[in-house]
Chains A and B, each alone.
Chain A
Amino acid sequence: MFAIPSRSPVRNRAVALSLAVGLALTGCSVDEGSEAAGPVPSDKKLTVGFVNGNSIEFHTCLQRSMQARATKAGVTLLTANSAMDPAKELSNIDDMIVKDVDAIVVQTVNIDSLEGGISRANRAGIPIFLTSVASVDQSKILGAVVTDVQKVGRDLGAWLVEDSKGKSVEVGIVGGAPGAAADLMNDAFKKSLGDAAKVVFDQPALWQRAKAQDVADNMLQARPDISYVFVHNEDMAFGVLAAFKAAGRDDIKILTNGGSEAGVKAVSAGDFAVTVSNTPKSVGEMAIDNVVGLLRGAPGVQKIATVPDTVVTSENASEAPPYCS
């Protein structure tokens, strides 16, 4: 019979994690060391590697829209998923280097831990392109398509100030995971609130709908007088909505970010007060277009491009851009 010697749960957790990572790894890395050259001639077929960061709806749609755009442009797209693990992201980048792709697109797990990956790709002479965030030394990357998360935070803050008409109100925040992008958005949101609106609750829910429901339950216990809640993405906002419905609280206005089909529908139905649409569909399409343009040296392609976003309320919900391909 199998018997493991008695271990602390923490150690066991480490063993489980390292085994899981180990199972997911394939092969080891070999730097090819080919030098970055000038524009790729238009008759050579491009192969682009895409390292995705997670498998929640945003990431699924991002990958799907890139795949569709790549097929249309005659580009071969290889994909890998890092499942929120920065170490796995690094090995995924290594794998793409070994496969000698023309460029690597990364939807990073954590921009702060990506530097190693960028310098590895640079050493191998393979250009690297980022989606969503680009707060790194921009001379080291081919380019990026970014969502201006600070603008999202500011827009939502401004909407709240206008909606509350300067009354003093309590505001709750159900966040994603602590990290660069979420923190930037959150700080911009808080800063734009002014003096009247006060953030009295700010806790993470790790981008999980079920966890967001628990956190919202706890928020209602701790701060029942909240009248607005900012939820970092729509999937979590639905978890928060479920918690409010169970508690019979339809008086709290939900502000969120995404622009998914279900999210826009919830805005039309009045379940969410407002959302910001910055869709993975446009991120993915712009990413493929710009990677191809920059590799081929086409004129007029912006190195760092910003995805257009729209504040969606019940008034303009019918005109919101599509989220997924």
Chain B
Amino acid sequence: MTALTALKGQARLALPPGVSRHAGLLTVLLAIGTVTALKSDAFLTGSNLLNVSQQIAVVAVLAAGLTLLMTAGGIDFSLGAIAALAHGVVAQLIVAGFNEWTAVGLALALGAAIGLVNGLVVTLLKVVPFVATLATSTILGGAALLVIDGKSISIGEHLVSLGFGEVAGAVPALVVIAMVVCVAAGLVLRWTAFGRNAFAIGGNENAARLAGIPVVRTKLLLYTLGGLLAALGGVMLVARLGAASPGTGGLHLELTVVAAVVIGGTALHGGSGTLVGTVLGVVLLGVVANSLNLLQINAHYQDVALGTVLLIAAITNHLRGGSH
């Protein structure tokens, strides 16, 4: 049903290497799940788990792209801003009378193009990715506000099939998209030459180049893919919300995505990372946000609670990762 339960099931059965590596993170997740379930009857219901999976779908899509990129030693701080821009562009195009799927296609193309520009700045102009994408993030954050003129833009009943549709009568379309993206990204990273090239570049870029790996082409593709997935996240945001709104996406989303990926054990300096870890990180953040509401944690303590959980998760994951 959800990624969460699927992974828990796996962990109990056989503990494949991809999961046992994240035993620390799973422990934290189970601990939080147990505490919340004991204190709130609503937590472990099917409808609440579907609810959580829907809330984390967008973060999961962005995090999948970032995991691939960070494994290759890159980073993109503009993903949240690309999502914000894409969600505004879709809304404005629909309001301007474009077919909804044309609008989606154009927004995805725009996201990919921005990713490509990020990649060109990083590879050809050799700007440090952290700085380059922080700069583009600032530009795009402003552009996102310009596109919607700082106001909320409603898309009415458009994109309802995406935002509220269900596959097989139960699983929300947004969750299906997120699962497809994460599984595809996981397979690409693990089982294709492209994925292995990403690991090699993240491990030692010079060695990778000398070994004949097309470093520039691989990185350009990774940044483009990151931009494309961020735009897809933006499309999902606008479809679910039924409107584009200032403050959606942006730095807030970006930090959540980076936190999820890093907690999932992907190294900031590249050369190591798994999609399983990233998905666990995303699920953890979603479950914590859900528990804070279900348990009625006082607003003033929410950041303290969130930060503490992140810290514990990062520490346990690191300890487990080091012992293997």
Contacts and interface: CB of A to CB of B under 8 A. Distances in A.
A263 B130 CA distance: 40
B269 A4 contact: yes
A57 B149 CA distance: 9
Nearest to A3: B269
A115 B241 CA distance: 38
Contacts of A204: 299, 302
A55 B248 contact: no
Nearest to A223: B42
A10 B310 contact: yes
Interface stretch (B5-13, B187-195, B285-293): B285-293
Contacts of B116: none
A16 B150 contact: no
Interface residues of B, number: 64
A269 to B, nearest CB: 12
Interface residues of A, number: 51
B105 interface: no
B293 A219 contact: yes
A222 B295 CA distance: 8
A217 B57 CA distance: 14
A25 interface: no
A226 B159 CA distance: 29
B258 A12 contact: yes
B258 A208 contact: no
B130 A214 contact: no
Given A1-B73, A203-B293, A222-B293, A57 B151 contact: yes
Interface in A196-242: 201-204, 206-210, 213-215, 217-222, 235, 238-239, 242
Interface of A: 1-10, 12-13, 16, 19-20, 23-24, 54-57, 59-61, 175, 177-178, 201-204, 206-210, 213-215, 217-222, 235, 238-239, 242, 246, 262
Interface of B: 40, 42-43, 45, 47-48, 51, 54-55, 73-75, 77, 122, 128-130, 134-135, 138, 145, 149-152, 154, 164, 201, 205-206, 237, 240-243, 245-249, 251-252, 255, 258-259, 262-263, 267-270, 289-290, 292-294, 296, 299-300, 302, 307, 310-311, 314
